[in-house]
Amino acid sequence: MSYAKALRCRKCGQEYPLEPRNMCDVCLGRIDVTYDYEAMKKTVSKDNLCAQPVSMWRYRDLLPVDSKEVDIGTGYTPLTKADNLGKELGLKNLYVKNDCLNPTYSFKDRAVSVAVTKALEFGFDTVACASTGNLAASVAAHAAKANLKSYVFIPSNLGSGKMVGAAIHKPNLVTVNGSYDDVNRLCINLSQKYNWGFININLRPYYAEGSKTLGHEIGEQLGWQAPDCVIAPAGSGLMFTRIWKGLNELAILGLIDPVKTRMYVSQAAGSSPIVNAYNNDSKHINPVTPDTIAKSIAIGNPSDGEYAVKIAKESGGGAWAVSDKEALTGIKLLAQTEGIFAEATGGVVIAVLKKLVAAGKIKPDDLTVAVITGAGPRTQDIMADVVHATLVEPTVESFDSAFDK
């Protein structure tokens, strides 16, 4: 059995059993999983962890699952020392957490692996999700592995790379004539009619927990310490909050010192409701209509936005937005210094990092982690301008005359 105890409302504290649940009945607040950390402490140690699988499931004791996991090979992705990029930006201790290297090319596999495991535990025969693209691929892949039926809902304006990434696993692929926020609203309505496991609705508390492993891995891979700064993207804001929770759990378990990490939210200027709320010192999120190439984080009404703002504030971090143009430059900078081809969301993170350094918010010696959450090859259409090839005949002479070496 896991150490998960209950679901608890983040706002009013009302507790519920570990069941499929989207929000609090009393106050409509968001729901989190709570744990018996005292009991967990007795089993989890650095030595025990070293003997665990080299995947996100090495942190099974910190996750709310009771059965064998649905795992397609997710997690324990590289934390790469980014010396070239660091030199470019003026940082001596920069690391990139490369979550492009998950089975469906984004961190979503962490969240979905836990949520689909719970879907089986709860006895659902069908899983579904509202997606900006990456979640659809991950849910379809895990449903294939778990022999579950799946319905994945995406906005109809996504690029073909993301469509193929989901369709290849043969889900029921539903394109919705509207924005992600419309897709999400449709799925909330459908979740009241169909007894399915909606990954980011009634399974959301469990989905959220999977993302914590990003925080766990960062702490472990830094040699059991929390970084000074984390820069991570936010769409709904959920993953950002879970990196924080993951790091703090390591401290609760005594594996690292108390966490002093400054947490920085990054968003695209064309979809930055969380950054706006932070800048206006507002507790409430004003929804926006997204317009950005960073489709994975193009969420105008972020369900965990308020919580993300709170963590950015309380940790002494911040919330920053960059233009699509800056994001494109960020993608190239990361690819051309560290050999990592990220999707636009990663470009946003790198561009925000650059701004933070220029503004003096991050100092040259700060131990800094940029979280790169999704890979570029599925959205290559936005990078078409990088191709400058030289056509030669298949002869040495032709090559020699084409290049001035």
Ligand X SMILES: *Cc1c(COP(=O)(O)O)cnc(C)c1O
Interaction site with Zn ion (CB under 5 A): 9, 11-12, 14, 24, 26-27, 29
CB 351 within 8 A of CB 327: yes
Give me the 344-363 binding string for ligand X, x by CB under 6 A, dash otherwise.
Answer: -x------------------
Alpha carbon 116 to chain centroid, angstroms: 17
Q: Please give the single-letter amino acid code of residue 144.
A: A
Q: Please give the single-letter amino acid code of residue 381.
A: D
Residues 6 or more apart in contact with residue 150 via CB below 8 angstroms: 126, 127, 128, 139, 140, 143, 169, 171, 172
Q: Is 187 in the site for ligand X (CB under 6 A)?
A: no
What does 356 interact with, of ligand X, Zn ion, none (CB < 5 to 8 A by kind)? none
Q: Please give the single-letter amino acid code of residue 120.
A: L
Nearer to Zn ion, 27 or 402 (CB): 27
Rg, the chain, Cα only: 21
Q: Residue 232 Cβ, how far from ligand X at the closest point, in Å?
A: 8
Q: Please give the single-letter amino acid code of residue 94.
A: L
Among 74, 113, 236, 292, binds ligand X (CB under 6 A): 236
Footprint on residues 307-336 left by ligand X (CB under 6 A) = none
Q: Residue 321 Cβ, how far from ligand X at the closest point, in Å?
A: 14
Among 103, 215, 219, 233, binds ligand X (CB under 6 A): 233
What does 200 interact with, of Zn ion, ligand X, none (CB < 5 to 8 A by kind)? none
Q: Is 238 in the site for ligand X (CB under 6 A)?
A: yes
Q: Is 368 in the site for ligand X (CB under 6 A)?
A: no
Nearer to Zn ion, 28 or 358 (CB): 28
**C-alpha triplet 340, 171, 267: angle, nearest 5°:** 40
CB 299 within 8 A of CB 308: no
Task: Measure the CA–CA gap between 369 and 367, rounded to whole angstroms.
Answer: 7
How many Cα neighbours within 13 Å face the side chain of 2?
A: 25
Among 297, 331, 356, 362, binds ligand X (CB under 6 A): 297
The span of 6-14, 159-167, 232-240, 315-323 binding ligand X (CB under 6 A) equals 232-240
Footprint on residues 369-398 left by ligand X (CB under 6 A) = 373-374
Q: Residue 304 Cβ, how far from ligand X at the closest point, in Å?
A: 7
Nearer to ligand X, 154 or 256 (CB): 154
Q: Residue 21 Cβ, how far from ligand X at the closest point, in Å?
A: 18
What does 98 interact with, of Zn ion, ligand X, none (CB < 5 to 8 A by kind)? none
Using alpha carbons, select from 328, 342, 344 the residue that is nearest to residue 295.
Answer: 344
Footprint on residues 126-165 left by ligand X (CB under 6 A) = 134
Nearer to Zn ion, 27 or 359 (CB): 27
Using alpha carbons, select from 216, 228, 301, 315 the residue that is nearest to residue 265.
Answer: 315
CB 100 within 8 A of CB 154: no
Distances (CA, A) of 252 to 138, 256, 260, 273, 347: 31, 8, 13, 32, 33
3-state secondary structure of 5: strand
Q: Residue 22 Cβ, how far from Zn ion at the closest point, in Å?
A: 12
Backbone φ/ψ region at 299: left (φ over 0), alpha (ψ -120 to 50), beta: beta
Q: Residue 63 Cβ, how far from Zn ion at the closest point, in Å?
A: 24
Q: Is 237 in the site for ligand X (CB under 6 A)?
A: yes
Q: Is 301 in the site for ligand X (CB under 6 A)?
A: no
Q: Is 271 in the site for ligand X (CB under 6 A)?
A: no
CB 137 within 8 A of CB 107: no
Among 74, 77, 98, 106, binds ligand X (CB under 6 A): 106
Contact residues: ligand X, CB under 6 A: 106, 108, 134, 233-240, 296-297, 343, 345, 373-374
